[in-house]
Amino acid sequence: MKFVNAEINIIVHATEDENIIIKSLKDVLSLDTEKIEIINSEGHWGNKILLMKLQVFGTNASDLLKTIFLGLNYFDREAISNTHDFVDDKGYLYLRLDKQKLCKKKIRLGTTDSIRLKFKPVQKFKNVDILDEYRRFFLSIE
């Protein structure tokens, strides 16, 4: 399966060390962290936060998804492989990784305070079941 890009978004709170998060992105997910965009912002209560954004393109996006999938435990893999909850009507795949676990060198799906990823597949002109495409992609990795 081919991807146009993958977009990674992270909110870093004032109590977190952005350098640890950046190092984890590089070490665990093999991302080129030199291209991270960092925006200083303010939270709802006036607390300082950083907004981090990184995009990877083409085969780098496919490689990132493979790295994530291989790093997940059995239950997280099954969740992604067997449900449409992660894919929207445009065929984009949305994942949330546990930021704290990633900083401990583990890849796990997360729901709160997570690293958000959006994978945009190359659109095909023929009528293709995108869920089947993702299932085949994940099965080819295992």
Domain ranges of the chain: 3-141
Sheet holding 48-57, edge to edge: 37-42, 48-57, 3-13, 114-121, 93-98
pLDDT of amino acid 94: 97
For 21-38, the pLDDT digits (tens) are 999 999 999 999 999 999
Superfamily the domain 3-141 falls into = Ribosomal protein L5 (3.30.1440.10)
What's the rounded mean pLDDT across residues 36-53?
Answer: 93
Other Cβ atoms closer than 10 A to 72: 20
Q: Is the pLDDT of residue 125 over 70?
A: no
pLDDT of amino acid 44: 84
pTM of the full predicted structure? 0.91
